[in-house]
Amino acid sequence: MAHPRRFALAAVFVLALAGCTLPGSTASGSTSSPTSADSAQPGPLVDSTATSTVYPAHCQARDNNEEPDPTCTPGALNPAVTQATIGSTICKSGWTATIRPPTSYTNTIKREAIAAYGDYAGTAMGNYELDHLISLEIGGSPTAVANLWPEKGEHNDKDPVENAAKRAVCSGQMSLADVQQQIATNWVALGHELGVTGIPAT
């Protein structure tokens, strides 16, 4: 989740919206446009440090507004986080605080995101939380529009799923790539797989 914190993008963030796909993703750089929640499939998750604030013209939240539009918000990765570096990045206490973007950046993104998603919970910014689809705790891009969407702000059901996903990766229960792909596809299903309670039914 995006929160006001100090922002220090590491110098190792060198790739921008290109190329590096996860195991099991397609080699193509394009994403599919699913017609229903059941048919939604993840496109290639790419490493990204992009800071563009441009969304597609029309985005539609799905699954009772619990999930973002997979075309507008497919998810994007932080190139500093790999299976080999989790010990010095996401599994290191306090690391995510060093990469969270500042409100001066996220508020701009949030306004654009709300408009792109059609003000589905009203026009007030306070009605939403700008969510990292692939959370920073499991190697999501801090800044890429492809990883940010306006989640309904009255609840934070996804937070415990993100925490459980991080624990699964850091304990060796699941691979980083598997968790990233699953949370980008259906975080609710991942939560149930990890035994998280108090989240929507699948």
* Number of domains present in the structure of the chain: 1
Measured over the CA atoms of residue 83, residue 87, residue 88 and residue 94, the dihedral's sign is positive
DSSP lists the bridge partners of residue 47 as 18, 77
Quote the pTM value.
Answer: 0.76
Alpha carbon 11 to chain centroid, angstroms: 21
What is the average per-residue pLDDT within 177-195?
97
Alpha carbon 96 to chain centroid, angstroms: 14
- Tens-digit pLDDT profile for residues 113-172: 999 999 998 889 999 999 999 999 999 999 999 999 999 886 688 999 999 999 999 999
Whether 48 is in a domain gets the answer: no
- Residue with tokens 């299903």, as numbered in its chain: 189
Whether 90 is in a domain gets the answer: yes
Whether 40 is in a domain gets the answer: no
Q: From 85, 104, 72, 87, select the one nearest 2 (Cα to Cα).
A: 104
The lowest-confidence range among 82-96, 104-118, 142-156 is 142-156
Whether 16 is in a domain gets the answer: no
Distance from first CA to last CA of the chain, Å, rounded? 22
- Tens-digit pLDDT profile for residues 29-46: 333 333 333 334 444 566
Whether 46 is in a domain gets the answer: no
Domain span holding position 137: 60-193
Whether 54 is in a domain gets the answer: no
Burial of 53 (0-12, 13-18, 19+ CB in 10 A): middle
Q: Where are the alpha helices (DSSP H) in the chain?
A: 103-116, 158-170, 176-185, 187-193
- Residue with tokens 């993840």, as numbered in its chain: 42
Q: How far is CA 125 from CA 27, 106, 151, 180, 184, in A?
A: 37, 11, 11, 27, 24
